[in-house]
Structure 1
Amino acid sequence: MSAAQTGSAGTTLPRTARLFGDGPLSRACALIHTLLTVEGLLLLTLAPGLLGLLFLGTDPSNLPLAALCLTPLGPALSAALYALHHRGHDLTELRPARSYLRGLRLNSAPALRIWLPLLAWLTLIAYSLTHFAATGLPGWWAVLLGVIGVGALLWGAHALVLTALFTFRTVDTARLAGYYLLRHGRATLGAASLLVVTTAATVWWTEALPLLLAPVLLLSLLHTSRPIIVETQEDFTA
């Protein structure tokens, strides 16, 4: 019997065939392969900046140099988001490296136009907080600066997702990211929870742990940003 079976009453019953690479184990292996590949390419993209950070001390005066070393982080995260969003689920159709490199080629310039101002703003806030005692300002100013910094990071998370998956003008991406901060509270809370996890891993373990977990964190960011992605596709793209 080839593609069908004959029942006892002489009727023909279809036989469900599962192709290679279509089962749950194969899908899990495909996901692991994609995560490891994206992790390796992410580290390779960030390698020059990471080497620079190794030679910098912890003195706050090095913050501008540290920000310079982190310049490739924006395009790298955008490329990783692109590769994870377009990941294959079939073991026979896995091309995460190609997707990452395509995302890096397409999104580097748009991501830098978002990332560089955000990085400069966060560096200014961090520098102000590390020298806050010398300003003589009341303590609530420090709290306000911290809140502004967190808000900027959440805005940046939405902006990088939009930059990675859509082609808009920079000003439109910035406006949409700000609009979605309150429009989709769950997505913003999801990004905030990932920020908490990243901060906790950095403070309690090592700065390298969030980097090693970056593909998993970015995949979670894509999941929590699903309402944003769907609404952008339906309302702001042709």
Structure 2
Amino acid sequence: MTMSVEQRFGTGTLSQGAAMIYTLLAVELALLLTAGPGLTLIVLLEPDASNLPLAALCALPAGPALSAALYAIHHRRLDLTDLRPGFAFRRGYRLNVRGALVVWAAWLAWVTILGMNLTGLGATGLPGWWAGPLVLVGTGATLWMLNALVITSLFVFRTRDVVRLSAYLMIRCPGVTVSNICLLVAAAGGVWLWSEAALALAGSLLVLVLLGNSRQLITVVRQEYTR
């Protein structure tokens, strides 16, 4: 009887729930430690278009940190007696820092250019309706980045393959794309209601939602593009 109880300990529903909460809190702390300093500088910057390039530089560390969080939560263990989210985060960071940084930097450069054009519409003399296409392009780039970040965090591909596969899966997996659009709307709403700090404090939860949204994408990549 004692052995049976020991075997069951840490694997029940309540224990798994506690393990998930602990994992999310540990990953959130790791996110804040690795990306927090740069994000803090962004909050302190004046809301001026001329500061967009500097804000992009401050946001660079967030890419590898998010990639490590994706890796850690995807490889989470729900046995309360065998939790190592900090180890998983460090391993994910070490494995994916280069690929994630390339994807993240490319996205930051693109949205920075779009943001500067969007805020400078009046100065350039372009009609106001140009804002619509710029926002759509920025949204598309962000959806591509989310796919690319998931792929490069969980699989091993060459960068050019990640670029193509992420774009293709936006069409191949429309449910993932629609779900990520909803995630972006929720994130934008959080910034509008509170501040950018709200996103940082809910980082691990947003990563969990992104992984949930990407289940079909992960399955397709695993079954069709890996051996």
TM-score, normalised to structure 2, is 0.95
Give the superposition deviation at 1:48: 2.9
Higher gyration radius (CA): 1
Unpaired runs of 5+ in structure 2?
none
Give runs of aligned pairs for residues 1-238 of structure 1, distance below 5 A. 19-238=8-227
Q: Report the Cα distance in structure 1 between the residues aligned to 2:53 and 2:161, rounded to whole angstroms.
A: 28
> Cα RMSD between the aligned structures?
1.7
Q: Residues of 2 paired with 1:234 and 1:153: CA distance?
A: 25
Spell out, residue by residue over 1:108-143, the C-alpha distance to the aligned partner (whole angstroms, 9 max, x if none): 000111111110000011111111111111222211
The amino acid across from 1:82 in the alignment is: Y
Question: Structure 1 vs Structure 2: percent identity of aligned residues?
Answer: 48
Which 5+ residue runs of structure 1 have no aligned equivalent?
4-14
Q: Runs of 4 or more off by more than 4 Å in structure 1?
A: 15-18
* CA apart distance, 1:54: 4.3
Contact 2:121 2:127 in 1 (8 A): no
Choose 15-24 or 42-51, whichever is displaced more.
15-24
Q: Please report how far the alpha carbon of residue 47 of structure 1 lies from its aligned counterpart in structure 2 after TM superposition.
A: 2.9
Structure 2 equivalent of residue 11 of structure 1: none
Query: How far apart are the structure 2 equivalents of 1:129 and 1:34?
Result: 39
State the AA in 1 paired with 2:66: L
Alpha-carbon separation, structure 1, partners of 2:128 and 2:137: 15
Question: Which of the two has greater helix per residue?
Answer: 2
Match of 2:81, SS state, is helix
Contact 2:43 2:196 (C-alpha < 8 Å) held by counterparts: no
Alpha-carbon deviation of 1:50? 2.6
The 8 Å contact of residues 43 and 197 in structure 2, kept in 1 or not, is answered as no
**What TM-score comes out, normalization by structure 1 length?**
0.91
Q: CA deviation at 1:103?
A: 0.4
